[in-house]
Amino acid sequence: MICDNSYNIIAISDGIGGNHHDSFELIEQVNKLLKCMDAADIDYKNSHLNADTGFDVQDFIEHIESEHKMIANIPNNKRNRKKIEKKTRYLNEYIYSFRFKIEVAFAWLDTYKRVLVRFEYLDSNFKSWLLLAATLINLRNIFN
């Protein structure tokens, strides 16, 4: 999911099964998200992409920075490293502090029971409910 600084949900990816890690098909999912943003004529070039340490995957970071011209603002994942890397990557702590906004958006989505507890068997039905909940959240942000 991608949201802006006003807590508006801009794009939602397809669902991934609970038996997969967050980085499963990560590049394909991000490509779909950014394709939605391109279709909506949202300019994301040279913007920061805040993500948690679970998205510290070298292929993903290189793809974001080279293909989409975004700045990956992702802290290093200290766990599951074979060796300690000496090179440091760009991380703006001030911009990363705004990452809580996506967590707030996730919490707002969790207020809808249909999304919190997945009753739907088909991914397309679940994504439809997710998009409906995101629409209600965005409308509340705009008109409140």
**Residue 141: pLDDT above 70?**
yes
83-121 pLDDT, tens digit per residue, is 665 566 788 999 999 999 999 999 999 999 888 888 888
Q: What pLDDT does residue 34 have?
A: 92
61 with 49: CB under 8 angstroms? no
- State how far the Cα of 57 lies from the Cα of 44, in Å rounded to an integer: 21
- State how far the Cα of 20 lies from the Cα of 23, in Å rounded to an integer: 8
Read off the tokens for 104.
Answer: 């707030």
What's the N-to-C CA distance of the chain in angstroms? 22
- State how far the Cα of 67 lies from the Cα of 54, in Å rounded to an integer: 21
- Mean pLDDT for all residues in the chain: 86
